[in-house]
């Protein structure tokens, strides 16, 4: 898995095979080594296959490109292009993104017989012109370049059935919205529109309201980013020694204040009792305590009346503690996102933080 790819939202269990994509596309996905769709893919692919309009709120790193290229390939595989009349159009604010999108079409469309052209600055235009003249299934372009070609009579937009606007918020930042509106108006046969944007400023919302037809709105959380000033330390240890290890770690590393995260509730109370027996000022929070008890403990911790808080992920969610010097993970969290949430408790507001993770020797080696 690539770093930064956000696969854990809803922990999707659906496989690509279950999404109903053509055999040739499934083969290309398998060749790329992907088994599970990302959350945006799992949500967008069935809706796009259904022919519906989509507003997708997702940023790069979520797998959004395959979220639209896969179902587009599936739908386009059924027909043929005519001279100078592209069947689908993907608008990208920058040439870099346009190039990435074309690479994605190449990867996933390699077992299909579809044609593609790329209209961006800097690409040898002669080749692209020949392709366009013959007719392409997929045209990927930046707005200015596309309109330039249109104005010179080299493309007709009337056969575009599927239209994708990628990174609409960046289009807005770059002043392309008027161009995009003009392009919308040229596509008189447009049957399906997909709009992707990392954020939804009101101008982008207005564009969607004006041109999209009852779009299905799909939103995925931002890929997790970690606090910058956190030092991570993995402490290899065998399972039986963990509570002793925590206790020693507090001394050795001179940790006067910390949250100690555990994957399991029973570990929470076990570690808490152990630390208390060592004379430490510790308290625990977990799902079995009622809300008022948890709140009282949190308040005491925040006020500095408790030094060590032993907690499960759920109990600690939304806990806004600024300036916590350290976080200790009794075990490796089940999901990468929990790790990011946990260590997000330290190193806040530009302060240095430390995150210690006790890991079984087996999982460290
Ligand atoms: P994107 O958000 O579209 O820029 O995609 C981010 C990266 O994730 C790309 O490099 C893709 O190759 C990769 N990717 C896309 N879909 C999947 C998937 N289902 N599983 C694993 N990696 C993927």
Q: Ligand 1 centroid vs 162 CA: distance in angstroms? A: 22
% of residues, the chain, pLDDT over 90: 52
% of residues, the chain, pLDDT over 70: 85
Ligand 1 neighbour 104 (Cβ under 6 A): no
Mean pLDDT value across the chain: 85
Strands in 104-204 per DSSP E: 116-119, 138-141, 162-165, 192-197
Give the per-residue pLDDT at 4.
34
Is the distance from CB of 361 to CB of 237 less than 8 angstroms? Answer: yes
Q: What is the pLDDT of residues 318-336, one digit of tens each?
A: 465 656 778 898 888 777 7
What number is the average pLDDT over the span 260-289? 90
Q: What is the pLDDT of residues 283-331, one digit of tens each?
A: 998 877 777 788 788 888 888 899 999 998 766 654 656 567 788 988 8
Q: Ligand 1 centroid vs 37 CA: distance in angstroms? A: 9
Q: Ligand 1 centroid vs 5 CA: distance in angstroms? A: 7
d(CA 208, CA 224): 27
Probe ligand 1: pick from 1, 4, 5, max atoms within 8 Å of CB? 5
Between 3 and 44, residue with greater pLDDT: 44
Give the per-residue pLDDT at 23.
95
Confidence of residue 33 (pLDDT cuts 50, 70, 90): confident
Q: What is the CA radius of gyration of the chain?
A: 26
Q: What is the pLDDT of residues 67-92, one digit of tens each?
A: 999 999 999 999 888 888 999 999 99
Residue identifier of the C-alpha nearest atom 13 of ligand 1 = 63
Give the per-residue pLDDT at 9.
40
pTM, entire model? 0.64
* Furthest C-alpha separation in the chain: 83
Q: What is the enclosing helix (H) or strand (E) of 357? A: strand 353-360
Q: Ligand 1 centroid vs 43 CA: distance in angstroms? A: 15
Residue identifier of the C-alpha nearest atom 20 of ligand 1 = 34
| Residue 332 tokens, joined | 């490796």
d(CA 183, CA 232): 49
d(CA 153, CA 175): 24
What number is the average pLDDT over the span 257-265? 90
Give the per-residue pLDDT at 27.
96
Q: What is the pLDDT of residues 181-198, one digit of tens each?
A: 999 999 999 999 999 998
Mapped onto helix, strand or coil, the DSSP state of residue 305 is coil
Between 242 and 92, residue with greater pLDDT: 92
Which string of DSSP letters, residue by residue, matches 222-266? PPP---TTEEEEEEEE-GGGHHHHHHHHHHHTT--SEEEE-SSHH
Ligand 1 neighbour 150 (Cβ under 6 A): no
Question: Which 8-state DSSP code applies to residue 118?
Answer: E
d(CA 259, CA 326): 7
Residue 188, Cβ neighbours under 10 Å: how many?
Answer: 9
Which string of DSSP letters, residue by residue, matches 44-69? HHHHHHTT--EEEE--TTSSHHHHHH
Ligand 1 neighbour 66 (Cβ under 6 A): yes
Closest CA to 121 of 101, 138, 143: 143
Ligand 1 neighbour 93 (Cβ under 6 A): no
Beta carbons within 8 Å of 186's beta carbon, 6+ residues apart: 150, 157, 158
Residue identifier of the C-alpha nearest atom 19 of ligand 1 = 37
Q: Ligand 1 centroid vs 47 CA: distance in angstroms? A: 19
Confidence of residue 348 (pLDDT cuts 50, 70, 90): low
Ligand 1 neighbour 8 (Cβ under 6 A): no
Give the per-residue pLDDT at 7.
38
Residue identifier of the C-alpha nearest atom 9 of ligand 1 = 63
d(CA 296, CA 285): 10
Confidence of residue 364 (pLDDT cuts 50, 70, 90): very low
Q: What is the pLDDT of residues 165-181, one digit of tens each?
A: 999 999 998 999 999 99
Would you say how long the chain is, in residues? 365
Give the per-residue pLDDT at 201.
92
What number is the average pLDDT over the span 203-220? 95
d(CA 153, CA 149): 6
Ligand 1 neighbour 19 (Cβ under 6 A): no
Q: What is the pLDDT of residues 137-162, one digit of tens each?
A: 999 999 999 999 999 999 999 999 99
Confidence of residue 111 (pLDDT cuts 50, 70, 90): very high
Residue 363 has pLDDT above 60, yes or no: no
d(CA 11, CA 21): 21
Is the distance from CB of 187 to CB of 115 less than 8 angstroms? Answer: no
Token pair 């499960």 is found at 312
Cα 205 from chain centroid (whole Å): 21
Residue 32 has pLDDT above 60, yes or no: yes
Ligand 1 neighbour 2 (Cβ under 6 A): yes
């Amino acid at each position: 898995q690539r770093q930064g790819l956000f696969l854990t939202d809803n922990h999707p269990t659906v496989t690509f095979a279950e999404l109903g994509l053509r055999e040739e596309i499934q083969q290309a996905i398998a060749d790329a080594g992907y088994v599970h769709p990302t959350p945006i893919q799992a949500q967008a692919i069935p809706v796009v296959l259904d022919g519906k309009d989509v507003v997708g709120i997702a940023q790069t790193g979520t797998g959004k490109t395959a979220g639209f290229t896969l179902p587009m390939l599936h739908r386009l595989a059924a027909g043929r292009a005519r001279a100078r009349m592209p069947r689908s159009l993907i608008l990208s604010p920058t040439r870099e993104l346009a190039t990435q999108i074309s690479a994605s079409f190449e990867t996933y469309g390699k077992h299909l017989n579809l044609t593609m052209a790329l209209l961006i600055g800097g690409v040898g235009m002669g080749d692209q012109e020949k392709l366009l003249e013959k007719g392409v299934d997929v045209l990927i372009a930046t707005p200015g370049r596309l309109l330039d070609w249109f104005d010179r009579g080299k493309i007709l937009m009337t056969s575009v059935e599927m239209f994708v606007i990628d990174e609409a918020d960046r289009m807005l930042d770059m002043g392309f919205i008027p161009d995009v509106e003009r392009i919308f108006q040229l596509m008189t046969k447009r049957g399906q529109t997909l709009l992707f944007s990392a954020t939804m400023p009101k101008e982008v919302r207005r564009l969607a309201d004006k041109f999209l037809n009852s779009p299905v709105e799909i939103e995925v959380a931002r890929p997790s980013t970690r606090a910058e000033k956190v030092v991570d330390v993995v402490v290899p240890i065998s399972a039986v020694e963990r509570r002793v290890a925590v206790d020693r770690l507090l001394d050795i590393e001179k940790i006067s204040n910390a949250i100690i995260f555990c994957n399991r509730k029973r570990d929470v109370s076990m570690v808490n009792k152990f630390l208390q027996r060592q004379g430490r000022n510790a308290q625990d929070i977990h799902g079995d305590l009622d809300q008022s008890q948890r709140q009282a403990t949190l308040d005491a911790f925040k006020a500095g009346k408790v030094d060590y808080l032993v907690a499960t992920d759920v109990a600690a969610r939304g806990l806004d503690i600024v300036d916590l010097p350290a976080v200790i993970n009794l075990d490796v969290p089940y999901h990468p996102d929990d790790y990011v949430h946990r260590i997000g408790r330290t190193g806040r507001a530009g302060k240095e933080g430390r995150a210690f993770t006790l890991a079984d020797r087996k999982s460290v080696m």
